């Protein structure tokens, strides 16, 4: 196990988690970047996580208290190829008006719990083929999903979608409700 950081922690610069770490007093992500390296676990206790802005990139595992709510505000980004929350401690991610960008061009971001996207939220998906996780991004949610806002897709790696291609960009373990108000696809992508 790595170090335990006591007291409330506020990040406004760059915080790189390269070893499994615990922040027992909670974390406020006010700006800058918070990066969890692949294979590493960052456990947040106390008041949990308060994302006020900046970027949260989880290539590893982000463990939060059961029932924690992660709000992604305007100017905030939740991205990565890892997990947020645990099966034992499910959470809720509310993409209020920020951006959720699964993967690492491409990859899968897993939310153990529920996901809701507000009218100003954006789900950003890279598509470079027809296989989820290795050729296009996917958001996996173990609980319920409520959609709104914008689905913004970007074609990568010179991929040209063909008629009949399908992309399961969200996998929900519970109910899937709502629709995207706006969808954005690159010109000529079919």
Retrieve residue 106's tokens: 């491409």
CA–CA gap between residue 121 and residue 187 (Å, rounded): 22
Would you write out the chain's pLDDT as a tens digit for each of its 190 residues? 578 888 888 889 998 998 889 988 888 888 999 999 999 999 998 878 888 888 999 999 999 998 899 999 998 999 999 999 999 999 999 999 999 999 988 999 999 999 999 999 999 999 999 999 999 999 999 999 999 999 999 999 999 999 899 999 999 999 999 999 999 886 555 5
Complete DSSP assignment for 42-76: EEE-TT-EEE-SEEEEESSEEE--TT-EEEE-TTE
Please, how many CA atoms are within 13 Å of residue 150, restricted to the half-sphere of its CB? 13
CA–CA gap between residue 169 and residue 175 (Å, rounded): 15
């Amino acid at each position: 196990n790595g170090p335990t950081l006591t007291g409330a922690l506020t990040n406004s610069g760059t915080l790189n988690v390269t070893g499994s770490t615990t922040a027992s007093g909670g974390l406020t992500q006010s700006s800058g970047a918070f990066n969890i390296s692949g294979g590493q676990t960052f456990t947040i206790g106390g008041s949990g996580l308060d994302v006020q802005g900046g970027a949260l990139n989880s290539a590893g595992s982000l463990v939060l208290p059961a029932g924690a709510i992660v709000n992604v505000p305007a100017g905030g980004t939740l991205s990565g190829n890892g997990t947020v929350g645990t099966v034992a401690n499910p959470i809720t991610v509310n993409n209020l008006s920020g951006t959720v960008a699964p993967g690492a061009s491409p990859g899968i971001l897993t939310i153990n719990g529920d996901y809701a996207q507000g009218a100003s939220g954006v789900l950003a998906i890279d598509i470079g083929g027809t296989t989820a996780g290795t050729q296009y991004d996917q958001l996996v949610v173990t609980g319920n999903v409520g959609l709104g806002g914008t689905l913004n897709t970007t074609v990568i790696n010179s991929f040209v979608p063909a008629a009949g291609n399908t992309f399961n960009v969200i996998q929900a373990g519970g109910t899937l409700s709502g629709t995207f108000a706006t969808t954005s696809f690159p010109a000529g992508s079919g």
